[in-house]
Structure 1
Amino acid sequence: MKKIITLLIALTLLSCGNPTPNPSRGDGDKTIDTVIPPPPKPVDSVPVVDTIPPPPPPVVEDTIIPQKPVYAIYTLDADAYGIIQGKVTDAQALANRYALEEAIQDAAEKQVDTFKIGVFDGYFDVSTVTSQTNKNFYPWVEGINIPSDFNLVMSDSTYLRVQPNNSPRYSLFSLYFSDNTYIEGGHLIGEREFHTWSGSGSDEWGHLIDINSSQNVTINGVEAKRGNGDGLVVHSREFSFKENYVPAKNVLIINCKIIENRRQGISITDGQDIIVEDNYFEGTGTTVGNSEGTNPRFDIDIEPYRERSKETGEIIWYEWVENVTLRGNKSIGSDKGSFIVAGGKNILIENNHVAQGMGNKASEGVVIRNNVCENYDENYTILPGIFAGDGTEVYGNTINGFSHSVHLSGENVEFHDNEARDFRSAGLYHRYNLKNSRIENNTFISNSPKAYAMFLHLATIENTEIINNTFESVRSALKTVSVNEGNDYTFMIEDNEFKSRDRNTVFKSSGIKFVGNHFNNQLEFKESTDIEVEQNTIESTTDAIVFKEDVGTISIIGNKLITGGKCTEAKFDPANLIEHSNECIYQ
């Protein structure tokens, strides 16, 4: 039987007698004279419309939360639409989804600006393919669709739950080409611990909020919990190189709680001008009940899809991400990592507090600054506190705990003015290629009995400066193994402070220039060549510099050697040792 729904809408006048213009609908500076009739008496079982003045937009740091002028509020009457709350059959959960969408559409057609859901707890089937002719799953068909020019405001007593299912995909909320949309509050709950596996794969695509080719979207203060895939996903409908490509754009995700989602907290695979700010992440990718997490298991993963052309060898970006800010978020207890940037351009990560690793692997113009990364869990060894690839600038960060504090790789990396403490294995650990980069004014200090302050291992380092840092550890403050082995690359270690209880060793390495450093312990060379040691101060209770086993060309010039043994000690006759102008002080 067709529902007769009465919306009681009142327009609130400004002091001049005109409603607030709504730029998102193109009202601009229009003037409309409106006479407000007296409010009619409430009618039982009819949704009630409350009239309130538009609230001022709240401000968080430098980010303004967009909020359209509120002309009227429509409050959902679940009974009027036949929505049954609590646990229900699959058929009723599907009927609930149809009914909620009908209520939303009714409000949208009547141009109600804000749709409210108060005390509510219900299940919705958003996984069943309902088409009789097309058996493909489309979230914008089967999910709860949120239309354009729409405010959805849920209370802290609002719970929308995904009906348990065996589908590899679902989206509880679908924003598909949905522009000028605002969603606030409420609890969106997935079904990961009740999911029945489809048998056709990892079933990792069950998302709670799906933002697809939508623009001017705000998600504010929503809890997204226990999705079988991601809490939220931001992407676009078509490939980035197609004429009909419409990117997701101007998306703000703020003040949300994103808890125990099985795959990711937030995935951003395509979009522009996206801010993720002041959110709380917990337990991403961890095991919940009998539901194990699945990779990648990051709180935030920025990862546009790409392939390398078989014909030209060039990278083809099927998706593209640009201008993203991750700011002021807090993350604890994710299974693998906090934030990863694996593609895109112009990404800023600042003022976050995380308990797992973060960094950039394959993006342009990434800045990681003023974050706190802390992890004292000895079982967490997956990632360092910060990892940085091509074109990344990293500064002002505090990195405490972790097995390794920092991994650097690629070209044009700037790592400066950071502080790393209490690392269990290595502070600065390098096992990759590094070129045209600079590591400056950092502090690496640990009292862990197994820690090296700087460990360069199986690496190539070219045209790079490691300058004016403090390296302090129990084991070697400096250890290199197989660095630039078999090539002619060179790099500079200059004006650093090395302090340790154990000797410093250079093994199977070449192309290193030590200039102006201070070592408080012995410097030892084994199977290394093309090494320059100039104008350093080396203090040792035993021999200051020791050469062992097949040392090639090494120059020791103009150093101050303070020793309790010999200034230089060769365990064999080095063929190409250049040694002069050194000051030797016996203690």
Structure 2
Amino acid sequence: MNMQQPLYYFVDALDWGIDDKGSNAIETTEGLNRALEYASSKSFYKVHIPKGIYLIDAVNTTKRLPEFGGGINVPSNIELILHPEAIFKVQPNDYQGYSCFYIGQASNVTIRGGQIIGDRHEHDYSKITSIKKTHEWGFGIHVNGSSNVLIENVQVSDCIGDNIWIAADGMMNTSGTYTPSKNVTVRKCTLLRGRRNNLATNGCEGLLVDDCDIEEAGGGTIGPQLGIDLEGFGENGIKYDHPYKLTVRNCRFKNNGRGSVTAHTSGKVIIEGNYSDHVISYGYSTDVSIKNNKIINENEIKTYGVDSVGVSSTESGNRVQIDGNTISGFEVGICVRGKGGTVSNNTFEKIKACPIATHQAEDFLITDNRIENSDCVQVQVRNSNDIKVVNTKGKGTSSSYAAKIMDSTRISLVNNEFANVYGGIYCERSQSVRLKGNDLLLSGSGYGIFWDKDSSVSLHRNEIHEPRNVAIKGTPEKYSCQISENQIYFCKSLIAIQLTGGSEHILKDNEIMFNRSVDQGYGVYLENTDKVRLVRNDVRGIGGKLLSHPYCTDKAKNTTLIHNTYDSGTLKTAEGDIVVI
């Protein structure tokens, strides 16, 4: 009669010389490893370790790098089930690295349940070498070049390096072999106080981190001190470490030292549905989706909600999507860097400096974002190219412009709405700026739209409401500008449109309505300009107050005025101007 091999193996501490009272680390570790080897040799699929305190010798003294092969070595085709009160404590040591559980070049491995505690607070950090000094390679679970790994319902805390480290065996594009870890899932785990990070990978193809509590990483002098660090590496156009196809979802990040998640140099990353109180960064990574996260800081102000670095030397762009996030309680909501992507449908609240900022960015669409309760510049574009800001709504700035554009090229602001703002759009040292269909309701003394002598700007169909200062003011000495079909309502300023310097500007089909408390007013005021054309503009006042000169060109030269209309005042032109009624 054939006897079917039982699926379950229950480890008996006495059978294997295991101390379950928290002593005898060497004997306990050797006993656990022998028990797992036995279960594997007999084809047991599930191994149960009972309640107890197990002191683990996590250092492999036979290796140059003691974290390789240290601690409990889990073989292939094993589901290791740890009692919820099975506690595995790393024996305090003075080595640069260790592994409490080591999964090396294995496949089809599960670790479920239990508690793993590192020696962070008992570790001796005084032992250093000329190469390694930081003691940042001590791991709770070390996955190296392994596949089909599940880590579930495990609590890991207080390791001197990463609580969970998922690594490739070897490096890409070198003379040695390279085997990334593949298809690794970390689910429903609690990761606490990892000295370096709570979880990190440098080489995994297919990683899912799902429904985990990740708290209080860092606190020491070493970096990166992140909740999760997806830390690839490349330079001079060559990839050496490249985590790929990574998902972090439905996790809760709290009080991690320098940030919640960083995708440093990775590919195809999804960061979705998480709750975070610190920055999420796409670093140098490509094809990243940061979607539907609650990034809410309610404590001391932090710098960024979403951050970035740029484009990796191995890639042509970032291709990032930042969509549907709620971001609150930061200096800057989203800082966009790099090349290629979309920032859309995000909601910002309680931002101190700027909800949406680009810096050294190229080819980004920023659309359909909402900004509330943020008394600061709403959108800032700096040192960037090919940026389009569309259908973004903000309100309520007491001393800041709604949007600022600086040192940038080919920038478009289209159909945005900013209400109750100090000033509208401020542009300096930027070229090929297009402002179209923006709705600006002003409540302060800033300009509606301003640009300096080093900027080239075109304005079309913008609405500027209740300006207290000049609604449209430019000093376009170097570049001709086009100002058409803009509407200025209830202008309280003395001047509605003012241009100083430059030549061959065109002002066409603009409508200006004054609502001043006293007589006097200038609809269009030109100074030191040449060959400007004013065509079919209309200037009028309400409330019975009279304008001085609806079109004032006497300080300019060679101005052409064609079919312009007004309801009060007189033209004030220069000799040589052409006027067609």
TM-score relative to the length of structure 1? 0.79
Measure the CA separation in 2 of the matches of 1:263 and 1:497.
44
Answering whether residue 409 of structure 2 is matched by residue 480 of structure 1, we say no
For each residue in 1:411-464, what CA deviation from the matched residue of structure 2 results, as whole angstroms up to 9, or x when unmatched?
Answer: 22111122112212211122x22222211111122244xx2211234x12x222
Measure the CA separation in 1 of the matches of 2:196 and 2:186.
18
Q: Which residue of 1 aligns with 2:508?
A: 580
Determine if contact 1:376/1:402 at 8 Å carries over to the other structure. Answer: no
Change (3 A) 1:481 1:469: closer
Q: How is 1:246-261 mapped onto 2 (pairs within 5 angstroms)?
A: 246-261=179-194
Determine if contact 1:149/1:181 at 8 Å carries over to the other structure. Answer: yes
Measure the CA separation in 2 of the matches of 1:168 and 1:261.
15
Per the TM alignment, residue 585 of structure 1 is displaced from its structure 2 partner at its CA by 0.7
Change (3 A) 1:400 1:454: same
The 3-state SS of whatever aligns with 2:232 is: coil
Moved more, 502-511 or 347-356: 502-511
Answering whether residue 52 of structure 2 is matched by residue 127 of structure 1, we say no
Q: Which residue of 1 aligns with 2:155?
A: 223
Change (3 A) 1:551 1:498: farther
Q: Which residue of 2 aligns with 1:426?
A: 354
Answering whether residue 268 of structure 2 is matched by residue 340 of structure 1, we say no
Answering whether residue 199 of structure 2 is matched by residue 281 of structure 1, we say no
Determine if contact 1:567/1:584 at 8 Å carries over to the other structure. Answer: no
Measure the CA separation in 1 of the matches of 2:192 and 2:259.
14
Q: Which residue of 1 aligns with 2:314?
A: none
Per the TM alignment, residue 139 of structure 1 is displaced from its structure 2 partner at its CA by 3.0
Q: Which residue of 2 aligns with 1:464?
A: 387
For each residue in 1:339-388, what CA deviation from the matched residue of structure 2 results, as whole angstroms up to 9, or x when unmatched?
Answer: 1112232111111111111131222211121111111223422x333548
Identical amino acids, percent of aligned pairs: 22
Measure the CA separation in 1 of the matches of 2:69 and 2:259.
33
Measure the CA separation in 1 of the matches of 2:193 and 2:464.
52
Determine if contact 1:156/1:186 at 8 Å carries over to the other structure. Answer: yes
Q: How is 1:548-587 mapped onto 2 (pairs within 5 angstroms)?
A: 552-553=478-479, 554-562=481-489, 563-568=491-496, 570=498, 573-576=500-503, 577-587=505-515
Per the TM alignment, residue 150 of structure 1 is displaced from its structure 2 partner at its CA by 0.7
Change (3 A) 1:71 1:418: farther
Determine if contact 1:453/1:473 at 8 Å carries over to the other structure. Answer: no
Q: Which residue of 2 aligns with 1:327?
A: 249
Q: Which residue of 2 aligns with 1:510?
A: 430
Measure the CA separation in 2 of the matches of 1:536 and 1:283.
48
The 3-state SS of whatever aligns with 1:520 is: strand
Return the match for 1:189 from 117, 134, 138: 117
Answering whether residue 461 of structure 2 is matched by residue 535 of structure 1, we say yes
Q: For 1:478, give the aligned amino acid.
A: A
Moved more, 201-210 or 574-583: 574-583
Measure the CA separation in 1 of the matches of 2:26 and 2:153.
27
Determine if contact 1:445/1:453 at 8 Å carries over to the other structure. Answer: no
Q: For 1:189, give the aligned amino acid.
A: I
Measure the CA separation in 2 of the matches of 1:223 and 1:477.
48
Q: For 2:157, give the aligned amino acid.
A: K
The 3-state SS of whatever aligns with 2:37 is: helix
Measure the CA separation in 2 of the matches of 1:473 and 1:94.
65
Higher Rg of the two aligned structures? 2
The 3-state SS of whatever aligns with 2:235 is: strand
Determine if contact 1:259/1:265 at 8 Å carries over to the other structure. Answer: yes
For each residue in 1:204-250, what CA deviation from the matched residue of structure 2 results, as whole angstroms up to 9, or x when unmatched?
Answer: 11111111111111101111111111011111112234684322111
Per the TM alignment, residue 87 of structure 1 is displaced from its structure 2 partner at its CA by 4.9
Per the TM alignment, residue 252 of structure 1 is displaced from its structure 2 partner at its CA by 0.9
Measure the CA separation in 2 of the matches of 1:236 and 1:447.
44
Measure the CA separation in 2 of the matches of 1:204 and 1:527.
53
Q: Which residue of 2 aligns with 1:395?
A: 323
Return the match for 1:98 from 23, 26, 30: 30
Measure the CA separation in 1 of the matches of 2:391 and 2:95.
56
Change (3 A) 1:377 1:232: same
Per the TM alignment, residue 293 of structure 1 is displaced from its structure 2 partner at its CA by 5.2
Flag the structure with higher strand content. Answer: 2
Q: How is 1:30-179 mapped onto 2 (pairs within 5 angstroms)?
A: 34=2, 71-88=6-23, 92-127=24-59, 129=61, 131=62, 136-179=64-107
Answering whether residue 291 of structure 2 is matched by residue 369 of structure 1, we say yes
Determine if contact 2:60/2:68 at 8 Å carries over to the other structure. Answer: no
Q: For 1:537, give the aligned amino acid.
A: E
Return the match for 1:490 from 410, 425, 436: 410
Q: Which ranges in structure 1 are unaligned for 5 or more consecutive residues?
A: 1-32, 37-69, 287-291, 309-314
Determine if contact 1:507/1:527 at 8 Å carries over to the other structure. Answer: no
RMSD of aligned C-alpha atoms?
2.2
Determine if contact 2:60/2:69 at 8 Å carries over to the other structure. Answer: no
Measure the CA separation in 1 of the matches of 2:292 and 2:425.
33
Change (3 A) 1:429 1:323: same
Measure the CA separation in 1 of the matches of 2:34 and 2:389.
63
Measure the CA separation in 2 of the matches of 1:95 and 1:551.
83
The 3-state SS of whatever aligns with 2:29 is: helix
Change (3 A) 1:537 1:398: same
Change (3 A) 1:100 1:71: same
Per the TM alignment, residue 35 of structure 1 is displaced from its structure 2 partner at its CA by 5.3
Q: Which residue of 2 aligns with 1:29?
A: none
Determine if contact 1:74/1:116 at 8 Å carries over to the other structure. Answer: yes
For each residue in 1:42-86, what CA deviation from the matched residue of structure 2 results, as whole angstroms up to 9, or x when unmatched?
Answer: xxxxxxxxxxxxxxxxxxxxxxxxxxxx94322222233222344
Instruction: Count how many residue pairs are aligned between Structure 1 and Structure 2.
Output: 493
Answering whether residue 302 of structure 2 is matched by residue 380 of structure 1, we say yes
For each residue in 1:305-332, what CA deviation from the matched residue of structure 2 results, as whole angstroms up to 9, or x when unmatched?
Answer: 2232xxxxxx211222221111111111
Q: Which residue of 1 aligns with 2:200?
A: 267
Per the TM alignment, residue 478 of structure 1 is displaced from its structure 2 partner at its CA by 2.5
The 3-state SS of whatever aligns with 1:165 is: coil
Q: Which residue of 1 aligns with 2:540?
A: none
Change (3 A) 1:35 1:490: closer
Measure the CA separation in 2 of the matches of 1:319 and 1:427.
33
The 3-state SS of whatever aligns with 1:394 is: strand
Per the TM alignment, residue 517 of structure 1 is displaced from its structure 2 partner at its CA by 0.3
Q: Which residue of 2 aligns with 1:10?
A: none
Per the TM alignment, residue 507 of structure 1 is displaced from its structure 2 partner at its CA by 4.6
Determine if contact 1:495/1:517 at 8 Å carries over to the other structure. Answer: yes
The 3-state SS of whatever aligns with 1:437 is: strand
Measure the CA separation in 2 of the matches of 1:244 and 1:482.
48
Return the match for 1:199 from 116, 128, 131: 128
The 3-state SS of whatever aligns with 2:124 is: coil
Determine if contact 1:561/1:567 at 8 Å carries over to the other structure. Answer: no
Determine if contact 2:88/2:116 at 8 Å carries over to the other structure. Answer: yes
Determine if contact 1:480/1:509 at 8 Å carries over to the other structure. Answer: no
Measure the CA separation in 2 of the matches of 1:395 and 1:121.
45
